[in-house]
Structure 1
Amino acid sequence: MKNLKTIVYIGLLGGSLFSCEDLDIDPQQSLSTELAFADKQAVEGSLLGVYSLSQEFEVFGSLPHVIADFQSDNVDFIGSFPTLQDIRLYATQSDNATIRDLWRRHYRAILAANAVIQFTPESPDESLTAEERAQFVAEARFMRALLMFQMVNLFAQPVQVGGEGATGIPIVSEAFTGEIIGYPRSTVGEVHAFILSDLTNALDDLPVSYESSSFTRGRATQGAANALLSRVHLYREDWQLAADRAEDVLENEALYGLASNYDFWGENNAEYVFSIQNSEIDNGRTGSGGWASYYNPAEDGARGDAPFSEYLLESYDPTDRRLTELSKEGENERMYTTKFPDPVNHSDNSPIIRTTEVVLNRAEALAQLDGVNQESLDLINLLRERAGLSAVAAADFSGKTDFVDFILEERRKELAFEGHRRMDLLRYGRALRPVGDEQFEASQAGQNKTILPIPQRELDINPELVQNDGYN
């Protein structure tokens, strides 16, 4: 085994899904390699530490997703946090503390995943089978891919704007050795290739499901990897691959399917392909942030910072159940989503990949390939039927462009408040705010501040990094 001085945060575990009690191990913030990978129990604890780090507020605990929706036209941010207001107004700079923490915590989780990938095969525990080692490495690869994809979408221009050669993020693929290494930024194309390699290499070694529903929905599976592959290919406009990977998920009807109504929120059911598991005692935020804190009105014990925008409200039919059953009016006369009902204890799971998204991925990809086609119509009509709306037919659309625009609007309403809207606009080269909005010009695809700055702290300690255009 290589001489690794410390694995930073590799044993950081929480309760419920990633419980120290369940694993009978001691949580630590720094473990030697020998301890972190000494036996099966320790190896699995190190792996679950990756999920726990990814649970944090700045990672998959809501912050990047809230930013993505209020940078776009779905959500208004009316809160008092100046670092978030600056992002919403396209006025932020590289010393923004929120962005600094977001970058650091993503890479902390990536480093933890790297350690699992690098050292699990070398564990001396002979009872740890080759299949178990391969599965644990595959789970870490999935999480690393998910983390890096979120980062490259936040900090780099999409391929539709900057091409494959656009400046991306550093590819950090090794465990921390105690030595600080200055990694340069790779291109977006290189980052995407790395992500796709991680996912395809992981796929065959991942389980289809686990014994518990919380693990089946909260740990990496073949379905989750295929769903993420579908998203990556969709964002890259690899339409056939996006459609095929989505189909791989949807074919498993025993595990994945659309809920018949909107009572599925917070449950580990077929509507969820992958979610970050939270509970009252183990969640990404115990303070004033988090999904429910932002998205619920103040009188419910939340902050009430992120209500519907008027633009989003106008997109719904008045009888659309996605509006009538998933919203409520606050005392400030603003409308709020009810997707995250627990602003006090933050026990709502983080909806990272839903079956609904996979359905929409396939519908959009097939529309790009075949124009107005029956399968895409059938998929969209499944969602519209659940929403209490009439079905649409081929005759309702003038052509491919009209049909794709319609699918994107359905995607907007289905996935509102889950962090998809920003990239759905940017990958089509569209402004994040509509004509007439004060930020319309600044929000045009390709404008400097539609992506986040590299934190100044990272530039100070790593001379290999270069700043994004338009930031000090």
Structure 2
Amino acid sequence: MNKKYILRALGFSLALGLFSCEDKLNELRPEQDLTEESAFNSEATAMSSLYGVYSTTQNFEIFGGLGHVIGDFQADNVQFVGSFPTLQEIQNFNTVGANLTIQNLWQVHYRAITRANNVIAKAPTVEDPGFTEAEKAQVVAEAKFLRALLYFQMSNFFSQPFQLSGGDNLSVPLVLEPFTGEITFPERATLNQVHAQIEKDLTEAIPALKTASQFGDPSEARGRATVGAAKALLARLKLYRENWSQAEQYAREVLADNSYSLASDYSFYNANTSEDVFTIQNSAIDNGRTGSGGLASYYRPAASGGRGDAAYSSGLLESYEAGDKRLSSLSSEGVGADGGTYIFTTKYPDAVNNADNAPIIRTTEVVLTLAEAIVRQATTVAGAQEAIDLINPLRVRAGLATYTAADFTSTADLLATVLEERRKELAFEGLRRMDLLRNKMPLKTSGEGASKAVFGGDLTILPIPQRELDINPSLVPNPGY
């Protein structure tokens, strides 16, 4: 059996355990407890620092629950019936800069970015005869992938999409150097600058990253940065920026790797299969749960151990055709936080331990990215036949009839279908909000806050936290806050 790295988030510190077949535990000292010199004085401590970045991304505020939840409940997939005031503000587009949830989201993302910066800068300086240059390069590459992923999520939350002003609008500060003790006050970069840095990190990382097949352990093949994961994130970036040809190129390169293929049913969640391109690995003792809970805490009702905060919206329920297994096999009825009866997703079933993995990039998303990119470049339905061929296996998996070109009157009609397939396939995985914004669609069309949820509306993006504005004179607030 291969050794498996299991990360434990212990408040703001971390411990790294290496478990072998003999169940012997060797603990490395937490990176944050090491001196500057000892944190990068060997291969072991350098790896501990890298795993510290992975561990930080498990936090509730990053991929431990909040990021996924905001991505769907600030859109039209979720009916939020929970009682958290800070989340109700976000859901109803009444957010203020003092919102503690958003303040924590900002801080924990930058904590993870700072740790990635340390690895990128210092891993190459490690003097350890057993730590090869190729291994150092891989460590740096994995940290760059994680930094890119973190900045991607931050830019999605705090800046208007590329479609509003071509990316010239303000996004978040780009902090790319390790903290040296000197206090600086970085300005907000533009969205174009942040996206350029994301692309730079990913393209620089790819040559040094392993492929999924080079990891013997499935949890590492799916939970570590790989060539496939970096290319899939580039495909998403290019899709969001409407660079259809490059989105197509990167998606094709991912799907050409036989490590990635569509699952035949929906039992792949938490299983680390070929359906997973990059997935945050959780366990009962190593997850992002805080006092606010994890993914299942939001998405499961009280009878299943959760709170029942985030139910299917009526619009999402109505989007499924009769017999669609994406609804029938991935949902159940339960009592919500407000006492009402709703339909809840079962993608994250473990509300007791919050051990469910957090899907970040799936093969299904890459397939749909390729299909969309093809349609966007086609002038006729016949010219987009490959896109139909790509979504039909998803239809078959869902137990539905397949499409032919005759089912579509135009490429616009076909595009709408691809986007609907994307909505149903990737529901509750945090992508719906950006899919609406990048297509210039309102985040909501009814209910409280709908008048503010239009494309380009000031409150469709999150406010720069008031605390950050108070301590950093270089920052400016987002309009409307």
Classify the TM-score, shorter chain.
over 0.9
Instruction: Report what 2:209 is aligned to.
Output: 206
Q: 1:191 aligns with which of 190, 194, 197?
A: 194
Code of the residue aligned with 2:450 in structure 1: it is F
Q: Partner of 1:275: helix, strand, or coil?
A: strand
Instruction: Report what 1:12 is aligned to.
Output: 14
Q: 2:228 aligns with which of 223, 232, 245?
A: 223
Instruction: Report what 1:445 is aligned to.
Output: 455
Whether the aligned pair in 2 keeps the contact of 1:15 and 1:282 (CA below 8 Å) is: no
Q: What displacement does 1:23 show?
A: 5.6
The CA distance in 2 between the partners of 1:363 and 1:184, in whole Å, is 38
Whether the aligned pair in 1 keeps the contact of 2:312 and 2:342 (CA below 8 Å) is: yes
Is 1:318 matched up with 2:355? Answer: no
The CA distance in 1 between the partners of 2:442 and 2:464, in whole Å, is 22
The CA distance in 2 between the partners of 1:16 and 1:83, in whole Å, is 38
Q: What displacement does 1:440 show?
A: 2.4
The CA distance in 2 between the partners of 1:401 and 1:458, in whole Å, is 43
The CA distance in 2 between the partners of 1:228 and 1:124, in whole Å, is 32
Alignment of 1:340-355 (within 5 A): 340-355=348-363
* 139-148 or 366-375, larger mean C-alpha shift: 366-375
Cα deviation code 1:403-462 (max 9, x no counterpart): 11111110000000000100000001110012x434322100110110000001111111
The CA distance in 2 between the partners of 1:16 and 1:328, in whole Å, is 38
Q: 1:296 aligns with which of 300, 308, 319?
A: 300
Distance 1:446 1:237, change over 3 A: same
Alignment of 1:65-80 (within 5 A): 65-80=68-83
Q: What displacement does 1:265 show?
A: 1.1
The CA distance in 2 between the partners of 1:25 and 1:174, in whole Å, is 25
The CA distance in 2 between the partners of 1:423 and 1:31, in whole Å, is 39
Query: Structure 2-normalised TM-score?
Result: 0.93
Q: Partner of 2:270: helix, strand, or coil?
A: coil
Distance 1:151 1:16, change over 3 A: farther
* 163-172 or 340-349, larger mean C-alpha shift: 163-172
Whether the aligned pair in 1 keeps the contact of 2:238 and 2:246 (CA below 8 Å) is: yes
Code of the residue aligned with 2:27 in structure 1: it is D
Query: Structure 1-normalised TM-score?
Result: 0.95
Count matched residues. Answer: 460
Cα deviation code 1:211-255 (max 9, x no counterpart): 2111111110001001100000000001011111111111112x1
Q: Partner of 1:107: helix, strand, or coil?
A: helix
Code of the residue aligned with 2:385 in structure 1: it is Q
Whether the aligned pair in 2 keeps the contact of 1:111 and 1:176 (CA below 8 Å) is: yes
Alignment of 1:23-422 (within 5 A): 24-209=27-212, 210-253=215-258, 255-331=259-335, 332-371=340-379, 372=381, 373-422=384-433
Q: What displacement does 1:73 show?
A: 0.4
The CA distance in 1 between the partners of 2:269 and 2:120, in whole Å, is 33
The CA distance in 2 between the partners of 1:23 and 1:395, in whole Å, is 62
Instruction: Report what 2:4 is aligned to.
Output: none
Is 1:430 matched up with 2:441? Answer: yes
Code of the residue aligned with 1:163 in structure 2: it is G
Instruction: Report which of the two has the higher share of strand.
Output: 2
Cα deviation code 1:76-119 (max 9, x no counterpart): 11101000000000001000000000000000000000000001
Whether the aligned pair in 2 keeps the contact of 1:286 and 1:345 (CA below 8 Å) is: no
Q: Partner of 1:345: helix, strand, or coil?
A: coil
The CA distance in 1 between the partners of 2:387 and 2:122, in whole Å, is 44
Q: CA RMSD in A?
A: 1.7
The CA distance in 1 between the partners of 2:193 and 2:292, in whole Å, is 37
Q: Partner of 1:441: helix, strand, or coil?
A: helix
Whether the aligned pair in 2 keeps the contact of 1:13 and 1:48 (CA below 8 Å) is: no
Q: What displacement does 1:22 show?
A: 5.7
The CA distance in 2 between the partners of 1:15 and 1:425, in whole Å, is 41
Cα deviation code 1:351-378 (max 9, x no counterpart): 0111110111100011101153121101
Code of the residue aligned with 1:267 in structure 2: it is A
Distance 1:333 1:14, change over 3 A: farther
Q: What displacement does 1:15 show?
A: 5.8
Whether the aligned pair in 1 keeps the contact of 2:16 and 2:29 (CA below 8 Å) is: no
Instruction: Report what 1:468 is aligned to.
Output: 478
Q: What displacement does 1:34 show?
A: 1.1
The CA distance in 1 between the partners of 2:418 and 2:24, in whole Å, is 46
Whether the aligned pair in 2 keeps the contact of 1:10 and 1:50 (CA below 8 Å) is: no
Q: What displacement does 1:125 show?
A: 1.6
Q: Which runs of 4+ in 1 moved over 4 A?
A: 14-17, 20-23
Q: Partner of 1:352: helix, strand, or coil?
A: strand
Q: Partner of 2:468: helix, strand, or coil?
A: helix
Distance 1:186 1:288, change over 3 A: closer
Whether the aligned pair in 2 keeps the contact of 1:15 and 1:281 (CA below 8 Å) is: no
Q: What displacement does 1:161 show?
A: 0.9
Q: Partner of 1:29: helix, strand, or coil?
A: helix
Whether the aligned pair in 2 keeps the contact of 1:16 and 1:282 (CA below 8 Å) is: no
Q: Partner of 1:33: helix, strand, or coil?
A: coil
Q: Partner of 2:450: helix, strand, or coil?
A: coil
Instruction: Report what 1:5 is aligned to.
Output: none
* 424-433 or 328-337, larger mean C-alpha shift: 328-337
